Structure 1
């Protein structure tokens, strides 16, 4: 090595000899740490129990925390905090596990969007790839926690990942229906009254354009103090919204796909969708036929068996296991059409295909409501992530995590539209992975981002996802959407449930469940009021979309009543309600007896 190269590698000297020495020491220490990490067994493997991660579960064995005579309980794996030193192999393994755990939730929305708008296989595969790439990029931003000014940040600084919000999925379905109804999207009506919807990529571009401008509402909300947001949107409101999102998606997407596909639901007597998933499919069948139901049930039962027998690694990706098992059986039986795989490009990226970004005025109010619900979900998800990551869930630092997460959600909604991806928001599925693997480290999260981007760039993978038969996808997404509804129930459990709270919840669910059971009850509300003013007519259409979307109307009713109805303060030590039913604390009574 020459003298010049040696001098060149040294840090630039300053006027402070102590600072120069400290910098040289930091550079040498950093280089030594990197060298030690990549050249030692501890740096690659660490102390983690990989056998535990991959060991199948024996059903009916001793529950955790108990041991039989002569058998020692296995030591739990160490917990890896946010920025602790993480072995390379564990970072790789955990990152892959996080990516696989959220994969089904990421590919489902673009597939549903494409099916609803009858887009071709090439466009559909691109939408899946763009979703994966966009999620990888914006997840990296969300977990980075970039300091902006004073106490304001961008990102949570936790192992937080993003995905297409299911609230957007539910609302977009109502928006697309309105576009087909008002002639924005083409459709034809057969002699027997069957309506056939034509391809409408412009509708997706309108949703992207509308979400792009509405994202500024969530950006503004991020600068409202976190505690004030939590008062406006308490668990009773957020739980109701999440519950209705999951329940509506089960009915509008999960079960129809399980039966064979939403296009052939109802068994039309004419057209391309008399059989499911279409007349030209390899082995078409009537909607709800035993073949279709059986394929979906196979995927569903695979998820249950994985939970019963699977290792911790497999349990965290049980949704993917259900898809894989369903695809293997359906492929062997001849139900899979491989054309989407052969036509998909080997390598792809964002903007290979584009959409006309425009604003659809009737969708503005519903999308604003979507971003409010996204902010509500973000607050709950950040709280859960902080709790499972063993960081403070109150105080100034936690408030800045909420502020940074909501801001990143809003910015992500803006840029995701530019990425040709529906609004992206915080994803909650990964909290279960953190809890089971005991790894909350952000290095694992960065590996997760790498895998998501890799899956998106490899275009053939999107073609594989697109080839999944509708019943297989329906069996899996029904469980996935039901899990969202259960998350809403869990959030509702934090509510004290006074008489006032029960009244608010009953009023909200009156509209939400009513919409869910009779979807077209508000569809004809303004049919007799055809106003020549396009702006006013657009307002009527906006109101119709909101009233026809269960979680939107339920959330609005819950927010308004929660703000205007006075709180009820029970006397100290008295948890009785006005209905005369005494609430007994069984655990407290048992503690007193002991």
Structure 2
């Protein structure tokens, strides 16, 4: 077994890891991302009346996430970051896909016609990150540490809201905020923290899985877990190319393409945080090569998603927190994660079992991971001293970004496409940080005059 000599990591980026610890480390990533991957198809299916197709959409989302994750870790022909970059269904596209589907539904389109148009437009929009990845050298000059650090921190803060909602019982729970839910999440968190701080290598490695296991056991004993039968869930789901057909419209594609461009900013932030947590350079040619490969792989994942009838993919931020918690950054674990997710997609009954983890348990487990994302963002922002200009950029980006997410009605008078696009902290804050970084002039550094000389 190869161990990492890198400080703070059990297994470094290129460390070979034995099958059993690799499986356990990979399982924790899968558990952390499962809900995020399957939630968008659940929401889209419910709003657009696609309930009959939801099991298939979930299976394909898991399959494509697995293929994309394997590609990111394996890095084939320069495509992929060569790190644990878990690919999952992007929430950024949720609003624009729902508005597109509802418009098509109002025009009398059938469920198959709606999905054919959505996936056709998604396929064209997937070319955006591929094109952008070819000019990352120029883009990287725009995405300075202040910009990327701001985006990473906003991503973490947005994810913490999801964790707290789960911890309290989950959306629309009748017992939302009940003391029993809070206690269950706290117990899960306590187990994870206790094992993570242990000096035993295996204790740290299994911390998240053990915490979720203890939480589920206590939930079952106390009657706070509603486990359902999975007898009616199909055992096998075979993928097919363009399962619902293919259609395309430029007018519907352009808004989706714009979201694709904005999601690149988020992906750059995630990849930067991943490099930092994995103890890799966050500047120089090596870093830019990882960014190019990672963004290119994001685009390829989105192409695979459109072809196999899944919604657009992106690099998941929460899995950076898992790397930090477990100390396992080995990219070989990323390949195992990809295989596990692909298997879950092919065998939906397994996903149905994992889906039944009680929300308070999941919330307690993910809170510390998402908090780690916030901490990584702060580290990126503060790697250089912050002057008045940088503080102003951060203040405006955070103020407006978090403001529109806290008060979404502030944008309700705007066109629906604009409101959906800029109703999230990450997109609004990220775009503002980038624009301000370009427009605000840099501060002149004071000239130091050697002692005994005067300025002429």
Query: Distance between the aligned counterparts of 1:421 and 1:368, measured in 2?
Result: 15
Q: Is the 8 A contact 1:378 1:405 kept in 2?
A: no
Query: Distance between the aligned counterparts of 2:389 and 2:3, measured in 1?
Result: 49
Aligned to 2:434: 559
Pick from 160, 172, 183 the counterpart of residue 84 of structure 2.
Answer: 160
Change (3 A) 1:172 1:255: farther
Question: 1:175-209: CA deviations, max 9, x gaps?
Answer: 477579x67679xxxxxxxxxxxxx9998877655
Q: Is the 8 A contact 2:163 2:363 kept in 1?
A: yes
Does residue 250 of structure 1 match 2:160? yes
2:395 is paired with a residue whose SS is helix
**Using CA pairs below 8 Å that are at least 6 residues apart, which structure has the higher relative contact order?**
2
Q: Is the 8 A contact 2:44 2:98 kept in 1?
A: no
Change (3 A) 1:337 1:202: farther
Select the structure of larger CA radius of gyration: 1
Aligned to 2:222: 333
Aligned to 2:264: 372
Does residue 108 of structure 1 match 2:18? no
Deviation at 1:498, TM superposition (A): 0.8
Query: Distance between the aligned counterparts of 1:326 and 1:206, measured in 2?
Result: 42
2:260 is paired with a residue whose SS is helix
Pick from 420, 428, 445 the counterpart of residue 570 of structure 1.
Answer: 445
Deviation at 1:558, TM superposition (A): 0.9
Change (3 A) 1:290 1:354: farther
Deviation at 1:512, TM superposition (A): 0.9
Does residue 541 of structure 1 match 2:452? no
Change (3 A) 1:81 1:544: closer
Q: Is the 8 A contact 2:236 2:346 kept in 1?
A: yes
2:86 is paired with a residue whose SS is strand
Q: Is the 8 A contact 2:79 2:293 kept in 1?
A: yes
TM-score normalised by structure 2 residue count = 0.79
Query: Distance between the aligned counterparts of 1:132 and 1:311, measured in 2?
Result: 33
1:342 is paired with a residue whose SS is coil
Deviation at 1:490, TM superposition (A): 2.5
Deviation at 1:434, TM superposition (A): 8.6
Aligned to 2:452: none
Query: Distance between the aligned counterparts of 1:357 and 1:337, measured in 2?
Result: 39
Q: Is the 8 A contact 2:117 2:246 kept in 1?
A: yes
Which residues in structure 2 correspond to 1:479-558 (within 5 Å)? 479-523=368-412, 525-526=413-414, 540-558=415-433
Which residues in structure 2 correspond to 1:27-176 (within 5 Å)? 82=14, 86=16, 90-117=17-44, 119=46, 126-147=56-77, 153-156=78-81, 158-164=82-88, 168-169=90-91, 171-175=92-96
Which residues in structure 2 correspond to 1:388-467 (within 5 Å)? 388=280, 395-427=284-316, 429=319, 433=323, 440=330, 443-467=332-356
Q: Is the 8 A contact 1:95 1:451 kept in 2?
A: no
Which residues in structure 2 correspond to 1:256-275 (within 5 Å)? 256-262=165-171, 264=172
Q: Which runs of 5+ in 2 are unaligned?
A: 450-456
Change (3 A) 1:117 1:220: closer
Deviation at 1:467, TM superposition (A): 1.8
TM-score normalised by structure 1 residue count = 0.63
Query: Distance between the aligned counterparts of 1:207 and 1:316, measured in 2?
Result: 40
Q: Is the 8 A contact 2:116 2:242 kept in 1?
A: no
Does residue 234 of structure 1 match 2:123? no
Question: 1:538-574: CA deviations, max 9, x gaps?
Answer: xx22211123112111111111111111111322569
Aligned to 1:221: 132
Deviation at 1:219, TM superposition (A): 0.6
Q: Is the 8 A contact 1:246 1:485 kept in 2?
A: yes
* Greater percentage in helix: 2
Query: Distance between the aligned counterparts of 1:516 and 1:444, measured in 2?
Result: 35
Which residues in structure 2 correspond to 1:178-217 (within 5 Å)? 208-217=119-128
Query: Distance between the aligned counterparts of 2:104 and 2:203, measured in 1?
Result: 45
Query: Distance between the aligned counterparts of 2:214 and 2:417, measured in 1?
Result: 42
- How many residue pairs were aligned? 436
1:161 is paired with a residue whose SS is coil
